[in-house]
Amino acid sequence: MTSRRTPKPATMGLMTAMFGAFVALTVSAQQSADIQNPHADVLSIGGSVTEIVVALGQQHRLKARDTTSTYPPDVTNLPDVGYMRALSPEGVLSVGPSLILSEEGAGPPEALDVIRAANVNFVEVPDAFTTEGILQKIEIVGDALGVPERADGLAAEIETAMATALADTDRPDSEKKRVLFVLSTQGGRINASGSGTAADALIRMAGGVNAVTEFEGYKQITDEAVGLAAPDVILTMDRGGDHGASDDELFAMPAIKLTPAAQTRSSIRMDGLLMLGFGPRTAEVIRSLNAALYGDGA
């Protein structure tokens, strides 16, 4: 039974090594987290809220952002406090915000309780996939940042842009193309958008018809349901680079093969935040989706 005692130094050695690794990680992480900007103290959470802050000319006040805030590209240089639904209270406090502007749904709730207790003002901005929804976001962000006049100006601009875009892109029901928004094709199974989503709203605004409205939200749908939905066009998120399924792969999928979209090889790829974050760029994306659907001259 003596054999059991020999590994003990090794066990201790392993633990020492783990502890050493952890100290090293700790030190390096603390060094990298110090990016100073003395006049800024706003933390923006949610891609569309961040875009609005920038559109209001308040980018200089941003101190940090969340993972979903990727536009304009400059903001990605700011420290990232993590995914909006899994915030760490100390991580958020460490960037020293006095105001947190957040899209609806940030969390976890316990983290927000602690953050509020530390005297940080937390403003939640509701998300709604309509023109009024965008205008309301702008108004709330403008009030919170103390620039209501700028917000009024931006809102008026966007209201006009949206109204014009919606008027320009509308067309008779008989001409509207059926669009299937595919969130992912993991493992050959199609996760599509039903009604009530940002994708559904965008498709309608751009003068198309959502091909699946039998369910709400994003769900995996069966191959046969895709056939029944008979989309004329497949709309997907462009994940940057070539990570998404190529057209060849997409149109070779059994579910999609027999749809009108596959026969005409019609697919549209767009940036996810641009499409689904209802913010300052939505009028623009309505136009470009409409152009992609019907061709520039139509």
Partner 1 sequence: MAAMTDVNVAPSDRQTRARQLHWALVGALLLACGASLQVGATDVTLTSLIAKLVQGQALSQMERVVLFDIRLPRLAMGVFVGAALAVSGAAMQGLFRNPLADPGIVGVGAGAGLGAILAIVLGTLLPAWVIDMTGNQLTPFAAFLGGWGSTILLYRVSTRHGRTSVATMLLAGIALGALAGALSGILVYIADDRQLRDLTFWGLGSLAGASWGKVLAAGPMIALAIGTALMLGRGLNGLALGEATAAHIGIDVQRMKSIAILSVAGATGAAVAVSGGIGFIGIVVPHLLRLASGPDHRTLLLNSALLGATLLILADVIARVVIAPAELPIGIVTAVLGAPIFLWILLKRRGLVE
> Shortest approach of partner 1 to residue 64 CB, angstroms?
7
Site membership for partner 1, residue 25 (CB under 8 A): yes
Among 30, 76, 263, 264, interactor with partner 1 by CB under 8 A = 30
Site membership for partner 1, residue 37 (CB under 8 A): no
At 231 the three-state DSSP class reads coil
- Residue 11 vs 174, nearer CB to partner 1: 11
Burial class (CB in 10 A: 0-12, 13-18, 19+), 169: buried
Site membership for partner 1, residue 10 (CB under 8 A): yes
> Shortest approach of partner 1 to residue 271 CB, angstroms?
18
Site membership for partner 1, residue 41 (CB under 8 A): no
Q: Determine the Cα angle at 118 with ends 114 and 121, to 5°.
A: 95
Site membership for partner 1, residue 101 (CB under 8 A): no
Among 54, 55, 64, 273, interactor with partner 1 by CB under 8 A = 64
CB < 8 Å & 24+ apart, contacts of 157-164: 158/131, 158/134, 158/280, 158/282, 158/283, 159/131, 159/135, 161/283, 161/284, 162/131, 162/134, 162/282, 162/283, 162/286, 163/131, 164/283
Site membership for partner 1, residue 18 (CB under 8 A): yes
| Exposure class string for 194-219: b at 16+ Cβ within 10 A, else e | beebbbbbbbbbbbbebbbeeeeebe
Site membership for partner 1, residue 156 (CB under 8 A): no
Q: Build a one-symbol-per-residue string for 214-243: x at contacts with partner 1 by CB under 8 A, - elsewhere.
A: --xxxxx-----------------------
What's the rounded Cα separation, in Å, for the pair 193 and 216? 8
Site membership for partner 1, residue 14 (CB under 8 A): yes
Intra-chain end-to-end CA distance of the chain, in Å: 85
**Count of residues interacting with partner 1 (CB under 8 A):** 52
> Shortest approach of partner 1 to residue 3 CB, angstroms?
9
Site membership for partner 1, residue 195 (CB under 8 A): no
CB count, 10 Å around CB of 238?
14
- What is the contact surface with partner 1 in residues (CB under 8 A)? 1, 4-5, 7-8, 10-11, 14-15, 18-19, 22, 25-26, 29-30, 33, 64, 67, 79-83, 85-95, 105, 107-111, 113-114, 117-119, 183, 216-220
